[in-house]
Homo-oligomer: A and B are copies of this chain.
Amino acid sequence: MAKAKKRNPVILITNDDGITAPGIKALIESVEGLGKIVVVAPDKPQSGMGHAITIGNPLRLYPVHIFKGIEAWQCSGTPVDCVKLAVDKILHHKPDLCLSGINHGANHSINVIYSGTMSAAVEAAIESIPSVGFSSLDYDQEADLGAPRKYARQIVENLLNNPLDKHLILNVNFPAVPASKMKGLRICRQAYAKYEEDFVERVDPNGRKYYWLTGKFVNFDKGKDTDVWALENNYVSVVPVQFDLTNYVLKAKIEKAWDI
């Protein structure tokens, strides 16, 4: 890791709200001066895209000049496509760090699975690029991201000095409270919380039904070591994430239960 300290580290930045979202600008500003920043982000909002990749269609990639002095590209694909294309066609080598966000909306607990922001971070880590996804529980696009900016810089400085693991992924969420009320970082586990769906049914002018996805977020997990608890108590939640989805407990159970 001494190598990363000597030269200027390369930081890839992406998001899922699209390249014009205030959150990505805040993230760029928060880490300016810490390395060479390259931005590759979707050309339109891609919330809820999870780990989708574009298989049946080609991708477009255009340079944009919207961040002063920063190389930036907009991509027609998903957040995961952005990371793949950035490494293969723009950077031509692995960056030192990949940052995703700052997302306008929560990505704590089960949201990590639906989130394009977090999936971009997961994709980077699969590629052996340590990564962090940042999200604010404040859905207001005009929200003050001053405090998230400060914490994001602190986390990135920590990781550039001590990268810990090439497959590192952190899911960082900021509570929707003023800076003065934020109590600092708290390392957490992912809560078991989920959405209870309630599709809204409507009828179009031709008499055909259609459905809008809506849902109520319900937390089934009372643990004080969870991200949901941390955020409810005004902490910045930090959940280390993995892409080995093997359920080892269930594996042992099945090996015992099934006679194979």
Contact = CB atoms under 8 A, between A and B. Distances in A.
Interface in A224-260: 238-248, 250-251, 253-255, 257-258, 260
> Which secondary structure characterizes the binding site on chain A?
mixed
A177 interface: no
Interface stretch (A20-28, A50-58, A140-148): A50-58
Q: Count copies of this chain in the complex.
A: 2
A70 B235 CA distance: 51
A84 interface: yes
A104 interface: no
Contacts of A162: 257
A138 to B, nearest CB: 18
A58 B202 contact: yes
A5 interface: no
Interface residues of A, number: 75
B201 A84 contact: no
A58 B210 contact: yes
Contacts of A164: 250, 253-254, 257
A61 B240 CA distance: 38
B194 A59 contact: no
Interface of A: 45, 47-56, 58-61, 78, 80-81, 84-85, 87-89, 110, 112-114, 119, 122, 126-127, 158, 162, 164-165, 168-169, 184-187, 189-190, 192, 194, 197-199, 201-202, 208-213, 238-248, 250-251, 253-255, 257-258, 260
A250 B170 CA distance: 10
Given A113-B245, A198-B88, A260 B210 contact: no
Contacts of A45: 56
Contact of A248 (B49, B60, B80, B189): B189
A119 B89 contact: no
Given A53-B114, A253-B164, A59 B213 contact: yes
